[in-house]
A and B are shown apart, each in its own frame.
Chain A
Amino acid sequence: MSTARAPFAPWDRRELPGIFGVEETARRIGNYRWTEMRLFEALGGWVATIPELDVKMVLGRHCYHHAWHAELWTKRLPELREMNVERMTQPANDEMVAFVKALTEPEAPELTIEKLVGVYRVLIPRTIAAYTYHLNGTSAITDSPTQRSLSHALQDEFEGWRDGEMLLQSLIDAPDKVERAIRRQGELEALITAAGGITGPGSIGSQPAPEEATV
């Protein structure tokens, strides 16, 4: 009886194939990079416009986290046959451009809630969703490098989302501020819904029609 070990351990459940090819992966990563860049630039720009010292310092920290994510994608893109990083760094569509324009619009020092709602209640949750869909859908064998970067980025995104949400909960302390936060979230949700998410329609896949669904 052979004593040779099986190539995959019993607990190793990685499978082939994933749901994304090389080109689709590069397209998504180009969208991620564009979004992370716009986000870290905005966070950096906002630091000087925010009077609350604790918020100022958190944004300074998060600015680097998102810049580092953009760097992860900068390094991954050339490994996906797309040697021109700049060409692949694109918004998903015009609606995504409109969303980011609206997201980065607030400037006045009294608009901290509006700034934070856009980032931590709209964009970051959408980013977590898109990254999670990608992480779960790609092959852990063929696309392990992307999975690893997604995992690192997601860890930051979760922690950043929690930091931002806690800041918001501490700032939203009166009914008028609740209204402001809701209104702002509604405006931006409409825009990113029109975009379909940070990689456009299909950012988190699409639900099958009822007749196609199988048990």
Chain B
Amino acid sequence: MKRHLPESELARDERFRRNKIEDQIFDPRNIAMSTRDLGPAQMAVDRPAISERSRSLMHGIFVGEIQALEGAGRTCYDFDDADAPFALKLDMARQCWDESRHVEISCKLAEHMGSDIGEYGESTFLYAAACNPDPVMRLCGVNRALEGLAIDVFSSMKAFGESTQDPILTYCEDWMLADEVTHVKMGSDWLRRLTDTDPDRRERALEFQRTVDKVFSLGGFRGESEENPIQITRRFRELAGFSTEECDELAEIAAQAMEDARTMVAAAAAAS
């Protein structure tokens, strides 16, 4: 088996359909969507089409967990002990187990919410962030950026479960949230350890994290206003090793991503 498996070679059964990120971003329906006033975007029971939205999000979580499992597994395999010490691989193996459980949980939750495997498409850009050839970059991109996003998503879904009085959803999201805080903390700890004597490498890794954070803010998907479906969860991020300044920076990145998306949509509308 070769090291470093590209995202195009991820193995799936026939139920899965892969989407390209650029197709989602440049979907012409986005223009029409942007002109509709749907009120606050947060996950709430009175939001239009909330049932469909929550099922779609749950399916996204499901495929995201599969890719997180695959990414952690590849980090166990892709590096020599010199590049990734045993203790780091042990943490990644532990993360494999955790992500396996998350796949199981989200699969059952999707069914609970009336969805099914393959009902929605799969974008593999989460795994793409796990393909970086530098293990420190991977940890920043996956454990700090993406698992950090998972903290935000699970917190929002847990709140949604509480607001809809769904004890199954609330219970499961709470457990997954606990694991994600651990994973982000792993990333924060390893970033410090592996770059202790190499500040340039640390800065490159943090820059990669900012890039991934911006991509995953998805033009307003995440932020701190009521226009963002997913809310940044500062308390759990701080438990996982984020400083207040880092949380502030993430909020700025998310706000910028939303502004960029508005500009793009306006430009597209003007051109059409």
User: Shortest beta-carbon distance, A164 to chain B, in Å?
Assistant: 15
Contacts of A70 in B (CB 8 A): 86, 90
Q: Does B238 contact A (CB under 8 A)?
A: no
- Which residues of the partner chain B approach A74 to less than 8 Å between Cβ atoms? 86
Alpha-carbon distance between A107 and B1 when the two chains are bound, in angstroms: 5
Evaluate whether A64 and B73 lie within 8 angstroms (CB atoms) in the complex, with A48-B10, A51-B12, A70-B86 already known. no
Size category of the A interface is 35 or more
Interface SS of B by simple majority: helix
Across the interface, which residues of A come within 8 angstroms of B81, CB to CB? 86
In the complex, what residue of chain B is closest to A66 when comparing beta carbons? B93
Indicate if the CB atoms of B99 and A60 lie closer than 8 Å: yes
Are the CB atoms of A67 and B93 closer together than 8 Å? yes
Known: A46-B1, A104-B1, A107-B2. A63 touches B13 (CB 8 A): no
Inside 8 A of A60's CB, which chain B residues have their CB? 69, 73, 96-97, 99-100, 103
Tell me if A98 counts as interface (CB < 8 A to partner B). no
A97 to chain B, nearest CB (A): 15
Residue A48 contacts which of B70, B92, B101, B103 (CB distance < 8 angstroms)? B70
Known: A61-B100, A63-B93, A64-B96. A48 touches B73 (CB 8 A): yes
Q: Is A140 interfacial (CB-CB < 8 Å)?
A: no
Which B71-105 residues have C-beta < 8 A from chain A?
Answer: 72-78, 81, 86, 89-90, 92-94, 96-97, 99-101, 103-104
CA gap between A64 and B9 in the complex, in Å: 23
CB-defined contacts of A52 to chain B, threshold 8 Å:
13
- Please state if A47 and B70 are interface contacts (CB–CB under 8 Å): yes
- Residues in A neighbouring B137, C-beta threshold 8 A: none
Question: Contact at B13–A44, with CB atoms within 8 Å?
Answer: no
Contact B10 A44 (CB under 8 A): no
**A204 CB within 8 Å of chain B:** no
Contact B93 A42 (CB under 8 A): no
Complex CA–CA separation, A71 to B91 (angstroms): 11
A-side contacts of B107, CB under 8 Å: 53
A49 and B8 CA atoms in complex are apart in Å by 11
- Distance between Cα atoms of A45 and B267 in the complex (Å): 43
Contact of B76 among A41, A53, A107 (CB under 8 A): A41
Are A49 and B1 in contact, with the CB atoms below 8 A?
Answer: yes
Q: B10 contacts which chain A residues (CB < 8 A)?
A: 48
Find out whether the CB atom of A41 lies under 8 angstroms from the CB atom of B99. Answer: no
* Residue in A57, A63, A109 whose CB lies within 8 Å of B11: A109
1/0 contact trace for B106-131 toward A, CB 8 Å? 01000000000100000000010000
Which residues of chain A come closer than 8 Å to B73, judged between CB atoms? 43-48, 59-60, 63
Asked if B76 contacts A49 (CB within 8 A), the reply is no
A90 to chain B, nearest CB (A): 13
Q: Does B5 touch A at the CB level, under 8 Å?
A: yes
Does residue B66 face the partner (Cβ distance < 8 Å to A)? yes
Q: Which residues of B contact A40 (CB under 8 A)?
A: 76, 89, 93
**How far in angstroms is the closest Cβ of chain A from B59?**
14
B-facing residues in A27-51 (Cβ within 8 Å)? 37, 40-51
B1 touches A51 (CB 8 A): no
What are 20 A-B contacts defined by CB distance under 8 Å? A37-B86, A44-B72, A44-B75, A45-B73, A45-B76, A46-B73, A47-B96, A48-B73, A49-B11, A51-B13, A52-B13, A56-B103, A57-B104, A60-B96, A60-B97, A61-B97, A63-B93, A64-B96, A64-B97, A107-B1
Q: What are the 9 closest A-B residue pairs judged by CB atoms, nearest first?
A: A45-B77, A44-B76, A60-B100, A67-B93, A44-B73, A64-B97, A47-B73, A48-B70, A109-B11
Extra pairs beyond A48-B9, A57-B100, A70-B90 (12, CB < 8 Å): A44-B75, A46-B1, A49-B5, A51-B13, A52-B13, A56-B100, A57-B103, A60-B103, A67-B94, A68-B93, A107-B1, A107-B2
Footprint of A on B, CB under 8 Å? 1-3, 5, 9-13, 66, 69-70, 72-78, 81, 86, 89-90, 92-94, 96-97, 99-101, 103-104, 107, 117, 127
